[in-house]
Structures are given as structure tokens and as C-alpha cells.
Amino acid sequence: MPSAASTTDLTLVPMADDWTPPTSWKRENRLADRMPGYEANILYVVDISRRELSVIPVPDSTGTDTGEWVSYDHQSRGVVPTRFHLGSLNLRFHPEFATPEHANVILTEAAPLALTIVDHLLPVIGTSTYDWSAAADMAKSEAEHLIERYPYRGTEHDFPHSHHAYRIEANTFFKALPDLIQPEWAEDGDDRLESTLQAIHQVFHGVSGVEDNFKLLLKLTTTGQLPADVNGRTVTQFHLVGVRAWLYELRKERAGDLTPVDASRWDGITAYALRVDGDSTPEHLDRIAEQVTMAAAEQGVKLLGARSWAWAVCKQRRANVRAELEELGKQIAMWEKDLAPAKKKRRALVTRVLSWGEYGDTNSSLGTLASMSHTAVGAIRDALEREDETSE
């Protein structure tokens, strides 16, 4: 497979037939009974925008951008990266597989799973991003297993991929359990919706199928039966996927004929932001949120998170005031530090004049003369009198 090939609309970019491990790659000598491995990996990278699966050999120390490594948690909650690692072949312990033949065999075998992923991702409405579907999520898991377990084929460590959990898409989940849907989810702005997404995953993601949950699990399967893993054991755990896509779809559905738009991204929001300052009361912010929502609706827009936006603007205005106060405080502190010697000398001069005891030197007159308050002069006078009494 010397050049790029297409497999039903998925382009495969293989390793060149004449590729050999670079001499610059570091070797790993920890295992005395085996040939030293390479501190490197062969990565399989999916590019969803190009519908492409590539083989990329990289040393551990490389700074090359080969795409994102998708953690299990990110795979559940985050948007799908444009380029991500489908899996990797570790050459530290398997240097004998650092050949084009092995690399390209894996590429060919992983291609159907990569195609399943790019074909079954869920679009997130109103954005250019995608979310994981049950099919795509499972294909990612299977592909990762296929690639990483390749060196163990035919050995005692060879085992098939196990479905430890039943993938359920949020659309299916909440259609079966509509009472769980909260009205505010359809009104949330983007930031608040992100918090909602995280909360949903914390509550429902990875729910174990203990006795109280079996009815729930069965209700969400298409067959009315729970699947079994490779060992014949019933899968008693489910993972929720596609929550982001479903939440955005929910907002669109509840908006009716209007187009849902986050308040911070609406074109007409700037004029209303000028009506908010740090002194705005909760009542004023509520009125602004109501006004901006009505104005957007007149343009066919369902404004989302208007009140949160108004509060965010107010908090930013207040943060600006605090920043101004902090900067002024620093300047004054610097000035006072520079003035300290002059103030000390002024106090000494006032003390000297007071020591003369002349009738016309009142607290007010000396305060005016020294640009001090009369109470400050009085404090110096009192201190001088106490000193005189002590000396007597």
C-alpha cells in the first residue's frame, strides 16, 4: 500500500513501503531478554474534516502536532476533535512491528471502524462541531483495542474486545425518561449549557445496573434484553453519549420558529450592554434581559441565557472598577512611600514651631501653613506636651 487509497469515501494514508525507523530514534534497553525497543509509537490519526486515516510514526520526544489524544472522559463529554488519535502501537516493547507491513495491515483493518466513526458522528446544531454517537463511541473503543492489542495476536495475551458498558444516546435516554428533562435546559446559554452537560454526565454516566436499575436499562434497549460481553456475562452498566448534541437539539426544538442564539453572540447585544454598569441592581438587570429578549424575538431569534449575560456584563463592569481601585491604590502607596521623608521633615518643623509657644501658632493656622488638618497638628502638640511633662 505505497500511496493513499480510498475505502468507500475514507482516504487511507499508509506508511511508505521503504520506511525504516530513523537512526535518531532512541532505543529502550530495559528488557534483557528482548531486542531493545524504540522510544516511539506508530499513531493512527483520524481527520474527520478530510475523512482521512493516516499512519504517523513519532518518537516520544516529538513536538509535532499529530492530533489530539481523546481520553475516555473527553470522549464522553467533549466535542470531537478535528484530528484525533484512533490508537497507537507502542514500539517500546514491540520494536519488531516497526515495519510498513505491520503498520499498513493495521491501517487496513482499522479503516472500517474509522469509517463508522466519521459516518456516525452527531452534528451539534448551530456549531461546526460534532458529538459522539453510540456507534462512533463503540467503534473508537474497538479500534483502540484492535491497534494496541495487535502485537499479542496468537499469544496467551490475545483476547477480543469486551463491551463493558451499553452505550445509550442521550436522545434515546431522555425520550424514554422525559420527566428527567428540566425546562431551563432549553433556555440556557452556551456557558450554562456546558455546566448542565457536565452535571448530566456526573449523574447518569456509567450508572451501574444493580437491581433497582435493571428496569431502567431494559427500557432503553431496543430488544428489551441487555447485551452480553465476550465472556457471556450480562452487561450491567451503561454510558451516556451524545449529550451535547441532544441539548443543542432540545434548545432548537423548544425555540419553535425562532433561531436559538446565545445572548453573548447575538449581533444586537452591544447596544444593550451599554445600559449595564457596575451599579445596576438585580431588578435593572432583569429589565435589560427582558428587553433584549423581546428585541431579539422581533428579529426571529430565541435569545438564550439573557439574564446570565446581563449579570456577566455587570460583573465585568464591577471587576473593571475593582481593577481601577487596585491600580490607584498602588499609585498612592508609591506616592506615600516617596513622600515619607518629606512628611517626617514636616512633622519635625511643626514640632519646632510649636516648641516656641508663640500665641498666634494655633492648630488651625499651623495646619494651613503645613497643609495638614488641625487635628493632626493637635496630635503633634499633645505629644510635645506629654514629652515636656515627662522631662520635668
Domain count for the chain:
3
Band (227; pLDDT cuts 50, 70, 90): low
Q: Is residue 373 part of a domain?
A: no
The lowest-confidence range among 15-29, 59-73, 322-336, 366-380 is 59-73
For residues 99 and 167, state if they share a domain. Answer: no
Strands 259-262 and 301-304: parallel
Band (225; pLDDT cuts 50, 70, 90): low
Give yes or no for residue 82 having a pLDDT over 60: yes
Give yes or no for residue 367 having a pLDDT over 80: yes
Tell me how many degrees the CA angle 18-42-82 measures, rounded to the nearest 5. 115
Q: Which of 338, 366, 386 represents a domain boundary (last residue)?
A: 338
Q: Which of 104, 125, 158 represents a domain boundary (last residue)?
A: 158
Q: Is residue 352 part of a domain?
A: no
What's the pLDDT at 59?
86
Q: What is the arithmetic mean of pLDDT over 80-93?
A: 89
Band (95; pLDDT cuts 50, 70, 90): confident
Burial class (CB in 10 A: 0-12, 13-18, 19+), 158: exposed
Cell numbers for 60, please give them: 516520544
Q: Is residue 380 part of a domain?
A: no
For residues 26 and 170, state if they share a domain. Answer: no
More confident call, 18 vs 151: 18
Q: Is residue 359 part of a domain?
A: no
Q: How far apart are CA 43 and CA 169, in angstroms?
A: 29
For residues 117 and 61, state if they share a domain. Answer: yes
Give yes or no for residue 1 having a pLDDT over 50: no
Band (62; pLDDT cuts 50, 70, 90): low
% of the chain surpassing 70 pLDDT: 81
For residues 212 and 287, state if they share a domain. Answer: no
Q: How far apart are CA 16 and CA 22, in angstroms?
A: 13
What's the pLDDT at 66?
67
Q: What is the arithmetic mean of pLDDT over 163-191?
A: 85
Rounded to 5 degrees, φ, ψ at 349 are: -65, -40
User: Grid coordinates 512491528 are at which residue?
Assistant: 97
For residues 124 and 263, state if they share a domain. Answer: no
The sign of the dihedral angle between the CA atoms of 341, 346, 349, 350 is: negative
For residues 148 and 57, state if they share a domain. Answer: yes
For residue 316, which amino acid is it?
A: Q
For residues 132 and 176, state if they share a domain. Answer: no
What's the pLDDT at 2?
45
Q: How far apart are CA 227 and CA 206, in angstroms?
A: 16
The residue segments making up the domain with residue 12 are 1-158
Q: Which of 254, 285, 306 represents a domain boundary (last residue)?
A: 254
Q: Is residue 343 part of a domain?
A: no
CA atoms within 13 A on the CB side of 367: 13
Give yes or no for residue 64 having a pLDDT over 80: no
DSSP assignment letter at 369: H
Cell numbers for 278, please give them: 457596575
> What are 369-391's pLDDT values in tens digits?
999 999 999 999 999 888 877 76
Q: Is residue 333 part of a domain?
A: yes
Q: Is residue 376 part of a domain?
A: no
Band (179; pLDDT cuts 50, 70, 90): confident
Give yes or no for residue 21 having a pLDDT over 60: yes
For residues 204 and 293, state if they share a domain. Answer: no
> What are 266-304's pLDDT values in tens digits?
999 999 999 999 999 999 999 999 999 999 999 999 999
The lowest-confidence range among 19-28, 126-135, 217-226 is 217-226
For residues 39 and 122, state if they share a domain. Answer: yes
Max distance between CA atoms of the chain, in angstroms, equals: 112
For residues 5 and 93, state if they share a domain. Answer: yes
For residues 154 and 166, state if they share a domain. Answer: no
> What are 230-241's pLDDT values in tens digits?
455 555 667 889
> What are 137-157's pLDDT values in tens digits?
999 989 999 998 888 887 777
Element (H, E) at 47: strand 40-47
> What are 103-143's pLDDT values in tens digits?
999 999 999 999 999 999 999 998 999 999 999 999 998 99
Q: What is the arithmetic mean of pLDDT over 208-214?
A: 49
What's the pLDDT at 210?
45
Cell numbers for 47, please give them: 481527520
Q: How far apart are CA 154 and CA 259, in angstroms?
A: 56
For residues 111 and 194, state if they share a domain. Answer: no
Mean pLDDT for the chain?
A: 85
Q: Give the global pTM.
A: 0.73
Q: Is residue 123 part of a domain?
A: yes
